[in-house]
């Protein structure tokens, strides 16, 4: 169809307008059926050579004043028709149906399944440990990962210059030289600061378990990481004894590793407990007979513990007078979550927990 198909109007009466616009509408329908959408748009709605522009120039603008309204109304109807046809312009219905059938989706095929998420093995192990102590009546304590030197070291009986600080070499926040040592910020090396924060906020009795992330300036190897997780515990009341500590940890180890597990305690040193002990459990791999994983000893060292040092209570007493070391006593313990997870799941490389390898993590889904 060319512009010559738009004749000049010789009259603007009702009959002439009806006939002229009916002819254009028929032509528009034929074009929509024969052309694709882009060709149809250019032919009718093109800015320079579009037929509607031609109709507007030759019919609407040329109409005498009394007829302009009638021509304008019919022109509007024609334009709306063209726009409606443009939305449906394209191949014939039969061709369209064939194309749709070619692109059809077989709804009987199985869909793409999104894998179900699962707890990270560290999170799972941490939650298992916390649940064991929650069943014993312990509440959960939390605190900041960025701590002051006072809460991380000083109030835990690590005075400035104490050699024990060297075993917990930590990562410090830069540019704090002008601050007093006790106010300088660092990444906590253990969750023990939460013990002091809890005692400052509430009088005894206290029974809390403290899970969390800690940081030490350690070189990474198969069993060490500069970032790892701890669960510590604190129990404070009157007449708390070492027997209470042994009974609590023996129950916890049996709950985590099975009722056949045995525990034994060896003297050790921690600045914030006195007396202190390392706790070993009978090897869960060989049942205590001796194997490569327990170095043929039948025992595996797992955590540290001890009775809270009176010096720690003295720091707490500054804000809570009820922590009089002459009237109360308590015990504390701490264990590495990664170490327990490695034992429970037979993992030999601690870095696997943090590598983000979905092939490794998928085993726990």
On whether the CB atoms of residues 271 and 157 are closer than 8 A, the answer is: yes
Question: How far apart, in whole angstroms, are the C-alpha atoms of residue 192 and residue 269?
Answer: 15
Question: How far apart, in whole angstroms, are the C-alpha atoms of residue 43 and residue 40?
Answer: 5
How do the domains of the chain map onto residue ranges?
3-102, 121-364
Question: How far apart, in whole angstroms, are the C-alpha atoms of residue 177 and residue 181?
Answer: 8
The structural architecture, per CATH, of the domain 121-364 is: 2-Layer Sandwich (3.30)
Give the helix ranges, DSSP H, for the chain.
14-34, 37-45, 51-55, 68-87, 93-102, 121-134, 149-152, 193-201, 242-257, 310-317, 337-345, 358-361
Please give the chain's pLDDT, 365 residues, in tens: 445 667 677 777 777 778 777 888 888 888 777 777 778 777 777 776 777 777 777 777 777 777 778 878 887 888 888 888 877 654 445 455 555 566 677 778 887 877 777 889 999 999 999 999 999 999 999 999 999 999 999 999 888 877 767 777 788 888 888 898 889 999 999 999 999 999 999 999 999 999 999 998 888 888 888 899 999 999 999 999 999 999 999 999 999 999 999 999 999 999 999 999 999 999 888 888 888 888 889 899 999 999 999 999 999 999 999 999 999 999 999 999 999 999 888 888 888 888 888 888 888 87
Residues with Cβ within 8 Å of 121's Cβ and at least 6 positions away in sequence, in order, are: 341, 345, 347, 353, 361, 364
Residue 97: per-residue pLDDT: 55
Residue 98: per-residue pLDDT: 57
For 322, the token pair is: 């009820």
Task: Report CA torsion sign: 118, 121, 126, 129.
Answer: positive
Residue 91: per-residue pLDDT: 45
Question: How far apart, in whole angstroms, are the C-alpha atoms of residue 266 and residue 287?
Answer: 20
For 6, the token pair is: 């738009």
Q: How many CA atoms lie within 13 A of 273 on its CB side?
A: 27
């Amino acid at each position: 169809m060319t512009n010559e198909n738009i004749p000049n109007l010789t009259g603007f009466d009702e009959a002439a307008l009806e006939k002229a616009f009916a002819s254009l509408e028929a032509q528009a329908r034929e074009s929509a059926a024969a052309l694709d959408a882009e060709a149809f748009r250019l032919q009718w709605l093109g800015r320079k050579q579009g037929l509607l522009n031609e109709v507007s120039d030759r019919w609407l603008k040329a109409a005498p004043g009394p007829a302009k309204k009638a021509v304008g109304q019919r022109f509007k109807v024609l334009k709306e028709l063209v726009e409606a046809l443009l939305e449906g312009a394209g191949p014939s219905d039969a061709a369209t149906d064939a194309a749709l059938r070619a692109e059809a989706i077989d709804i009987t095929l199985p869909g793409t399944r999104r894998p179900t998420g699962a707890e990270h093995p560290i999170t799972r192990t941490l939650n298992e440990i916390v649940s064991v102590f929650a069943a014993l009546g312990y509440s959960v304590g939390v605190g900041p990962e960025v701590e002051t030197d006072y809460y991380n070291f000083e109030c835990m009986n690590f005075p400035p210059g104490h050699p024990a600080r060297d075993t917990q070499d930590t990562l410090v926040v830069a540019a704090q030289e002008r601050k007093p040592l006790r106010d300088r910020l660092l990444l906590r090396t253990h969750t023990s600061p939460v013990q002091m924060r809890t005692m400052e906020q509430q009088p005894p009795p206290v029974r809390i378990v403290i899970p969390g992330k800690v940081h030490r300036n350690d070189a990474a190897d198969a069993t060490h990481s500069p970032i790892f997780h701890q669960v510590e515990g604190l129990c404070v009341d009157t007449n708390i004894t070492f027997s209470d500590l042994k009974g609590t940890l023996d129950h916890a180890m049996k709950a985590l590793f099975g009722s056949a597990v045995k525990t034994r305690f060896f003297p050790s040193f921690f600045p914030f407990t006195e007396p202190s002990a390392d706790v070993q459990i009978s090897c869960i791999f060989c049942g205590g007979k001796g194997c490569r994983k327990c170095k043929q000893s039948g025992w595996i060292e797992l955590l540290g513990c001890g009775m809270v040092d009176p010096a720690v209570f003295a720091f707490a007493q500054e804000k809570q007078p009820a922590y009089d070391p002459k009237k109360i006593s308590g015990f504390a313990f701490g264990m590495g979550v990664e170490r327990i997870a490695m034992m429970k799941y037979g993992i030999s490389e601690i870095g696997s927990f943090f590598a983000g390898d979905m092939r490794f993590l998928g085993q726990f889904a």
